[in-house]
Amino acid sequence: MQKINLKFLKTLNALLLLIVVASLTGCKKNKEPLLTTTAASLITQTTASSGGNVTSDGGETVLSRGVCWSTFNTPTISDNKTLDSAGTGSFVSALTGLTTGTIYYVRAYATNSAGTGYGNEVSFTTVQIAVPVLTTIEITSITQTTAVSGGNITADNGGSVIARGVCWNKSVNPNITNSKTTETGGLGVFTSNLNQLTTNTKYYVKAYATNSAGTGYGNQVSFITNQVAVPVLITTAITSITQTTAISGGNITADNGESVTARGVCWGTITNPTTANSKTTDGTGIGSFVSNLTSLQPGTIYYVRAYATNSVGTSYGNEVSFTTLAELSTITTSTITGITPTTAISGGNITSDGGATITARGVCWSTSQNPTLADSKSIDGTGTGVFTSSIAGLTLGTTYYVRAYATNSAGTAYGNNASFITSSTQIQLPTITTTNASSITATSAISGGTVSSDGGATVTIRGVCWSTTASPTTSDSKTANGTGTGSFTSSITGLTSGRLYYVRAYATNSAGTAYGSQISFITQLISQGTVSDVDGNTYSTVTIGNQEWMTKNLKTTKYNDNTAILLVTDNYAWSNLSSQGYCWYDNSVVTYGALYNWYTVNTGKLCPIGWHVPSDDEWTTLTTYLGGESVAGGKLKESGTAHWISPNTGATNETGFTALPGGFRNYSGEFSSVGYNGNWWSSTSTSTTIAWPRGMSCNFSNVYSPNFSKRSGFSVRCLRD
- CATH, residue 450: 2.60.40.10
Q: How confident is the model at residue 449 (pLDDT cuts 50, 70, 90)?
A: very high
Q: What is the pLDDT of residue 305?
A: 98
Distance CA 266, CA 453 (A): 58
Phi, psi of 247 (to 5 degrees): -125, 135
* 667 and 605 housed in the same domain: yes
Cα distances from 190 to residues 49, 151, 178, 184, 207, in angstroms, run 36, 6, 19, 9, 10
Residue 22 has pLDDT above 50, yes or no: no
Give the burial string for 562-576 (b: 16+ CB within 10 Å, else e).
Answer: eeebeebeebeebbe
* pLDDT, position 546: 85
Phi–psi pair at 607, nearest 5 degrees:
-80, 160
Mean pLDDT, the chain, rounded, equals 91
Split into its structural domains, the chain has a count of 6
pLDDT value at residue 443: 85
Domain-terminating residue out of 488, 522, 556: 522
In whole angstroms, give the CA distance from residue 580 to residue 596: 8
Instruction: Categorize the per-residue pLDDT at 5 as very low, low, confident or very high, splitting at 50, 70 and 90.
Output: low
Question: What's the confidence (pLDDT) of residue 330?
Answer: 93
- Per-residue pLDDT band for 11 (boundaries 50, 70, 90) equals low
User: Which of 112-121, 360-369, 586-595 is predicted with the least confidence, judged by mean pLDDT?
Assistant: 586-595
- State the DSSP H helix or E strand holding residue 10, giving kind and residue range, or none if neither: helix 2-26
Give the type of residue at 606: L
- Residue at a domain's end among 65, 95, 125: 125
Asked whether residue 26 is assigned to any structural domain, the reply reads: no
138 shares its domain with 60 = no
User: Does 660 lie in the same domain as 558?
Assistant: yes
Number of H helices, E strands in the chain: 5, 51
Q: Is the pLDDT of residue 9 over 60?
A: no
**Of 10-19, 390-399, 617-626, 690-699, minimum mean pLDDT range:** 10-19
Spatial contact of 479 and 463, defined as CB atoms under 8 Å apart? yes
- What DSSP element (H or E) covers 4? helix 2-26
200 Ramachandran zone, left/alpha/beta (phi>0; psi -120 to 50): left
The Cα-based distances of 463 to 89, 138, 478 in angstroms read 138, 87, 7
Beta-bridge partner residues of 392: none
Amino acid at 118: Y
Q: Strand ranges (DSSP E) for 338-414?
A: 344-352, 360-366, 376-377, 385-391, 399-408, 411-414
* End-to-end Cα separation, the chain, in angstroms: 194
Average pLDDT over residues 122-146: 93
Query: Do the domain assignments include residue 643?
Result: yes
pLDDT-based confidence at 226, cuts 50/70/90? confident
Q: Please indicate, yes or no, whether residues 590 and 465 belong to a single structural domain of this protein.
A: no
With cut-offs at 50, 70 and 90, classify the pLDDT of residue 594.
very high
Tell me what the mean pLDDT of segment 552-570 comes to. 95
Task: Report if residue 11 sits inside a domain.
Answer: no
Alpha-carbon dihedral 467, 471, 477, 482, rounded to 10 degrees = 140
d(CA 464, CA 462): 7
Q: Say yes or no: 613 and 674 in one domain.
A: yes
Same domain for 611 and 715: yes
| pLDDT surpasses 90 at 586 | no
Cα–Cα distance, 165 to 169 (Å, whole number): 14
Q: Considering only 56-70, 201-215, 338-352, 357-371, which range has the smallest mean pLDDT?
A: 338-352
| 282-302 average pLDDT score | 95
Closest listed residue to residue 400, CA positions, set 453, 441, 363, 428: 363
Query: Domain check: are 630 and 557 in the same one?
Result: yes
Please give the average per-residue pLDDT across 556-567, as a whole number.
Answer: 95
**pLDDT of 333 above 50:** yes
All residues at 6 or more sequence positions from 588 whose CB lies less than 8 Å from its CB, including other chains: none
Is the pLDDT at 427 greater than 90, yes or no? no
Structural domain range at position 316: 232-323
Residue 5 within a domain: no
pLDDT at 29 exceeding the cut of 70: no
Q: Where are the alpha helices (DSSP H) in 554-636?
A: 571-575, 598-601, 616-625, 629-636
Whether the bond into 647 is cis, omega within 30 of 0: yes
In this model, does residue 142 exceed pLDDT 50?
yes
In terms of domains, do 359 and 476 share one? no
> How far apart (Å, rounded) are the C-alpha atoms in residues 718 and 560?
13
Among residues 112, 125, 113, the alpha carbon closest in space to that of 35 is found at 112
Do 277 and 315 lie in one domain? The reply is yes
Share of the chain above pLDDT 70, in %: 95
Task: Give Rg (Cα) of the chain.
Answer: 55
Q: Do 591 and 703 belong together in one domain?
A: yes
Measuring CA to CA, which residue among 214, 197, 198, 215 is closest to residue 206?
Answer: 215
> Do 296 and 312 belong to one domain?
yes
pLDDT value, residue 654? 85
Helix axes 629-636, 616-625, angle to 10 degrees: 80
> Is 61 part of any domain?
yes
**396 and 417 fall within a common domain:** yes
Per-residue model confidence (pLDDT) at position 280: 97
Domain-embedded: residue 22: no
pLDDT tens digits for range 367-398: 999 999 999 999 999 999 999 999 999 988 89
| 102-117 CB burial, b ≥16 within 10 A, e <16 | eebbbbbbbbbeeebb
What are 480-529's pLDDT values in tens digits? Answer: 999 999 999 999 999 887 788 999 999 999 889 999 999 998 887 655 68
Q: What is the pLDDT of residue 313?
A: 92
In a domain, 2, yes or no: no
Looking at 196, 224, 252, the residue that finishes a domain is 224
Q: Is there a domain that residue 27 lies in?
A: no
**pLDDT greater than 70 at residue 650:** yes
- Cα separation, 721 vs 713, in Å, equals 24
The rounded distance, in Å, linking the Cα atoms of 421 and 416 is 17
Q: Is the pLDDT of residue 21 over 80?
A: no
Residue 24 has pLDDT above 70, yes or no: no
